Structure 1
């Protein structure tokens, strides 16, 4: 098809939907030719009920992998066609169970020859192809159950956008970005505190001159992320990972992850054995990032920040 050659894999959903609609139309014609009063979309529910056990709508939905509302609608349509009947569950009167009606069981008896012929036709089709569609569908379903297409697209997007990111050392012309990016997130959730003003207004004095470092994430040459590595007067830790901030305009592009990795690598290069940080559990994306970087929760360290309710550390390996 010329259209799908032009669109490429971008239109996989449209192509599968078109194939599904074609097969559904042909299945309708097959049922009609065998004199079977059944719609193709009813078949999964019909097949499960044909095994003999009455089922609730919830059980049917779980077994065939459809949503509860979808199965409920199908059951209503089949009941209107006289193929199923609904009654109270003998074991639990609060539940209704669905089973084939007398008409439904009669239809079941009509399907034996159709089943055999359809199965043989599909086998003939598969024998004429280089790729086994049935097995391919199983593989796709398994892989998508492990990670959805949406998540896979997100990962590819981050990978592509990460190519536009540069992590560079702090320079005086980045001071405004360092301050404004941090002030924005702190003010959005908490209140700026004296320790914030010291570090953000005087990074040279309170961070760099003490042997610390600040890294800046440039996205298309614009400073949209920052993070500091601050020396600590603590026998347990040489440095603190602090003042990490990413502009909302750049969130989802992997800047936080790239900054975090760069700061950890810098600490390791400086010979640090452990890295410390403080945060707040309200900042779920940040906590998730720290866990991803390898940080674990610790207790018992004093903090200058009222907003801090969690301390974490990362053991650095050579």
Structure 2
């Protein structure tokens, strides 16, 4: 058993971060190896836009469960790259509506096969371990638990 495994929940965040960093690094390496100018960090907004032709920044924020400011920064980053455009909502001029540019649509067409291959690869990986199949459900349960009571107050209650 390695140090990380022996320390259990004391290094839970570190292990999740290490796993996430490895996952995102490998996904970005795939994009690069296939000459796709895409970053895994863009996935959430790209996925939302792949499902809807145009969406408000408020809707992006709600779907990603982030602040309006964070969603706006994601969109601004994609605008700077020329992948999305933002216009005013015809019904409410205060709202910005985001959609793909032609360049963004081209990149979407390139990343869709990678997303399919990624889904398949993850399903194969999960099938390798008897407990892995429960990973997403376990993460959802922990997220719900933290929404009910943040870790900070849980720790304070035990001090």
Q: TM-score, normalised by structure 1?
A: 0.46
Looking at CA atoms only, which structure, 1 or 2, has the larger radius of gyration?
1
Residues 279-294 of structure 1: pairs in structure 2 closer than 5 A:
none
Q: Which residue of 2 aligns with 1:36?
A: 36
Answering whether residue 145 of structure 2 is matched by residue 134 of structure 1, we say no
Shift of 1:108: 1.8
Query: Matches of residues 163-242 of structure 1 in structure 2 within 5 Å?
Result: none
User: Aligned runs of 1:1-318 on 2, under 5 Å?
Assistant: 2-5=2-5, 7-131=7-131, 132=133, 133-157=135-159
1:57–1:68 Cα contact (<8 Å) kept: yes
- Given that residues 87 and 98 in structure 1 are in contact (C-alpha distance below 8 angstroms), is that contact kept between their aligned partners in structure 2? yes
**Distance (Å, rounded) in 2 between the aligned partners of 1:114 and 1:146:** 36
Q: Secondary structure at the match of 2:51?
A: coil
Query: Partners of 1:101 and 1:117 in 2: how far apart?
Result: 25
Deviation at 1:23, TM superposition (A): 1.0
1:252-310 Cα offsets, whole Å, 9 max, x none, are: xxxxxxxxxxxxxxxxxxxxxxxxxxxxxxxxxxxxxxxxxxxxxxxxxxxxxxxxxxx
User: How far apart in 2 are the matches of 1:34 and 1:6?
Assistant: 39
Q: Equivalents in 1 of 2:66, 2:39: separation in Å?
A: 16
Task: Flag the structure with higher helix content.
Answer: 2
Larger relative contact order, structure 1 or 2 (CA cutoff 8 Å, min sep 6): 2
CA distance in 1, matches of 2:112, 2:57: 26
- SS at 2:145's partner residue? helix
Give the aligned CA root-mean-square deviation in angstroms: 1.8
Conserved 8 A contact 2:57-2:95: no
Q: Distance in 2 between matches of 1:36 and 1:44?
A: 17
Number of paired residues? 157
Structure 1: distance between partners of 2:61 and 2:155:
28
The structure carrying a bigger strand percent of its residues is: 1
Q: Deviations over 1:116-146 (max 9, x none)?
A: 2111110110001121222222222222222
What SS class does the counterpart of residue 55 from structure 1 fall into?
Answer: strand
What's the offset of the Cα at 1:52? 2.2
The separation in 2 between residues aligned to 1:83 and 1:139, in whole angstroms, is 35
Q: TM-score, normalised by structure 2?
A: 0.87
Shift of 1:6: 5.2
For 2:35 and 2:136, the matched residues in 1 are separated by 27
Whole-angstrom CA distance in 2 between matches of 1:96 and 1:59: 10
Offset at residue 16 of structure 1 (A) = 1.1
List per-residue Cα deviations over 1:136-183 (Å, max 9, x = no partner).
2222222222222222222323xxxxxxxxxxxxxxxxxxxxxxxxxx
